[in-house]
Amino acid sequence: MKKRFTLSTVLALMLLVAAAAALIGYNRASVQLREQLEVFQAQKEELSKLIAAREIIQDQFVGEVDRVRLYDSAIDGMVRSLDDQYSHYLSAEEYARYQRAADNRYVGVGITAAQHPEGDILVLEVYEDSPAEESGIKAFDRIIEVEGTPVTEMGFEMAVGAIGGAENTQVRLTILRPDGTRAEVNPTRRAVGLRAVSSEILAGQNIGLVRIRNFESGVDRDFREAVARLQSAGVRALIFDVRFNPGGQLDVMRPMLDLLLPEGTLITLRAKDGTEHVFTSEPGEVDLPMAVLVNGYSYSAAEFFAAALREYDKAVVVGEPTTGKGYAQRTIPLEDQSAIILSIVEYFTPQGRSLSGVGLTPDDAVALSEEENRNFYTLTLEQDRQLQRAIGVLTQQLPPLPEDDAP
């Protein structure tokens, strides 16, 4: 016999289920609310000192308080406390300049720079017909002050950003020369563009030379075009020059290596929590003997580019040991158009090696003198001993040219 439920019984059961569900939901909401309140309380306690300091400054400082600058400085201080020379805070104005520079276009004085071990700005290259050249700045000068403020106080990225600015305005720079003398210069900023990839066929060698100045936006496209031109011209080997290259974006470097490497692991990124992201390469389109020129001013993506080619036995590395940067940064925009550049992952070569602190040791070591480095961008091809060594190494790998084709 089937048991029948009255309407009232069904309604009562439904109300009980609804009440139970509501109670469960309430309990979950209560737990979540309690957890959020605990987090809020912890954050409040952590920030109480900062808030108190802000209120004291606003209430008691006898001068004017620039609230934007106050908060910018607070964030900058937090990032500085990490003691990571590659992590920086950029104000909204500095971030805008940084984005333009990442496209190889900006208003500035016309230099390629890197961070000196002592924290100031080391000039690697001075562009031809640039404000920097006109004001007497030379390669290997150090910019130690910008508008009277020491670069070590401003931070490298902020100082580089401050050198840029509105077109047709001057910037006051204090220069420390390699001989220890100081000079003050006042170049007038103007629009400066950088051709980051250049190529040529070395006369009488049938070897293509590709100079890569950085790994910023658009360089991968220009690199592919340069390599294609050289291949169409029938070169028998390639030399890639990444000396004085301050690095750039991994997303730009990866397709460049993809063009040259066989199928396999390209780069491994390891985050703080230990998770790894492995990027692989497709079969490359270039099968020629190669060499890469490096020196102590080949940073980040530049030294990784050379290391990856060597680990796949695609290229011999010639020059001097590289810097040893093994962390990749992410640019994280904030609500007011400022940004934090933060080291977020460690990267590893195809064979799983980190370059951090050790860099890359060349297969064939050739050191340039201080004078040769200072005059690097005016050396002739014949005077460039590192280039000449790379040519010699590749020439030994190549079969003799047919007599009809010999130069």
Tell me the torsion sign for CA atoms 178, 182, 185, 190: positive
Shared-domain flag, residues 230 and 152? no
- So what's the pLDDT on residue 131? 93
Residue predicted with more confidence, 362 or 164: 362
Shared-domain flag, residues 283 and 360? yes
Report if residue 128 sits inside a domain. Answer: yes
Domain boundary among 132, 158, 192: 192
Token pair listed for 357? 């602190």
Shared-domain flag, residues 188 and 283? no
At 212, phi and psi to the nearest 5? Answer: -120, 110
Helix (H) or strand (E) holding 255: helix 250-260
What pLDDT band is residue 14 in, cutting at 50, 70 and 90?
A: low
- So what's the pLDDT on residue 402? 62
CA dihedral 144, 148, 154, 158 (to 10 degrees): -90
Report if residue 37 sits inside a domain. Answer: no
Tell me what the mean pLDDT of segment 336-363 comes to: 93
Least confident span in 38-42, 196-200, 369-373: 38-42
Q: Can you give the residue range of the structural domain that contains 264? A: 195-397
Kindly report, residue by residue over 30-76, the tens digit of the pLDDT: 667 666 766 666 666 767 787 888 888 888 889 888 888 888 888 88
Shared-domain flag, residues 187 and 214? no
2: pLDDT strictly greater than 60? no
Shared-domain flag, residues 200 and 340? yes
Report if residue 29 sits inside a domain. Answer: no
Please provide the average confidence, as pLDDT, over all residues in the chain. 87
DSSP sequence for 304-334: HHHHHHHHTTSEEEEES------EEEEEEE-
Kindly report, residue by residue over 129-145, the tens digit of the pLDDT: 889 999 999 988 999 99
Report if residue 252 sits inside a domain. Answer: yes
What pLDDT band is residue 259 in, cutting at 50, 70 and 90?
A: very high
296: pLDDT strictly greater than 60? yes
29: pLDDT strictly greater than 80? no
Shared-domain flag, residues 165 and 201? no
Question: Could you give the count of Cα atoms lying within 13 Å of 27 in the half-sphere of its Cβ?
Answer: 6
Tell me what the mean pLDDT of segment 234-249 comes to: 94
Report if residue 3 sits inside a domain. Answer: no
**What are the CA-CA distances from residue 226 to residues 183, 221, 256 (Å)?**
40, 9, 11
pTM: 0.72
22: pLDDT strictly greater than 70? no
| Number of domains making up the chain | 2
What pLDDT band is residue 189 in, cutting at 50, 70 and 90?
A: very high
Q: How many CB atoms lie within 10 A of CB 305?
A: 26
- Long-range contacts, stretch 217-221, CB < 8 angstroms, 24+ apart: 217/102, 217/103, 217/104, 217/249, 217/252, 218/103, 218/104, 218/252, 219/104, 219/248, 219/252, 219/256, 220/252, 220/253, 220/255, 220/256
Tell me what the mean pLDDT of segment 372-391 comes to: 90
Shared-domain flag, residues 149 and 221? no
Tell me what the mean pLDDT of segment 360-383 comes to: 90
Question: CA angle, 152 as apex, 147 and 153 as ends, to 5°?
Answer: 70
Strands (E), 88-181: 88-90, 105-108, 111-115, 121-126, 142-146, 149-150, 173-176
391: pLDDT strictly greater than 90? yes
What pLDDT band is residue 363 in, cutting at 50, 70 and 90?
A: very high
CATH of the domain at 350: 3.90.226.10
- So what's the pLDDT on residue 114? 80
- Long-range contacts, stretch 163-167, CB < 8 angstroms, 24+ apart: 163/108, 163/109, 163/111, 163/121, 164/97, 164/100, 164/101, 164/106, 164/107, 164/108, 164/189, 165/97, 165/107, 165/108, 165/189, 166/107, 167/107, 167/191
Tell me what the mean pLDDT of segment 19-23 comes to: 66
What pLDDT band is residue 407 in, cutting at 50, 70 and 90?
A: low
- So what's the pLDDT on residue 401? 64
- So what's the pLDDT on residue 392? 95
